[in-house]
Amino acid sequence: MKKETKNKNTFERVYEIVKKIPVGKITTYGQIAHLLGNPHLSQVVGFALHSNPSQSTIPCHRVVNRFGALAEAFVFGGINEQRVLLENEGIKFLENGYVDLKQHMWYGD
């Protein structure tokens, strides 16, 4: 017996939010978790992207940690690849290799 089918899990919630990120902007796991209602869901957010069931649909490269640094573990072909992707969208990187959160930090809608 299945339970309710329209039960939207937090996972899908994360996907919806990540997919809603406008081009040229980025967000952090904590921000998404906060939008979900629990700031501690940040772990789930990272896991959602890790599973990446819709890698082609979910711009994981737009999601960075709270420091504005990209997760070196999730880079598909190298951190450089991600930097190029973000720069291609108009995101500027700092000399330290971090993203300028003050410039592209996206706060939900």
Question: Would you call 60 a catalytic residue per the annotation?
Answer: yes
Q: Helix, strand or coil for residue 7?
A: coil
Three-class secondary structure of residue 19 per DSSP: helix
Q: Which of residues 41-100 bind DNA (CB under 7 A)?
A: 41-44, 46-47, 49-52, 60, 63, 65-67, 71, 73-74
Residue 26 in the binding site for DNA (CB under 7 A) = no
In whole angstroms, the minimum distance from the beta carbon of 104 to DNA comes to 15
Does position 103 interact with DNA (CB under 7 A)? The reply is no
- Count the helices and strands in the chain (H runs, E runs): 5, 2
Alpha-carbon distance 3 to 11, whole Å? 17
Query: Quick one: which of 17, 26, 28, 91 contacts DNA (CB under 7 A)?
Result: 28
| Cα angle 10, 72, 8; round to 5 | 10
Residue 10 within binding range of DNA, rule CB under 7 A = yes
Q: Cβ distance 101 to 21 under 8 Å?
A: no
The catalytic residue positions are 60
Which residues contact DNA by CB under 7 A?
A: 9-11, 28-30, 33-34, 38-44, 46-47, 49-52, 60, 63, 65-67, 71, 73-74
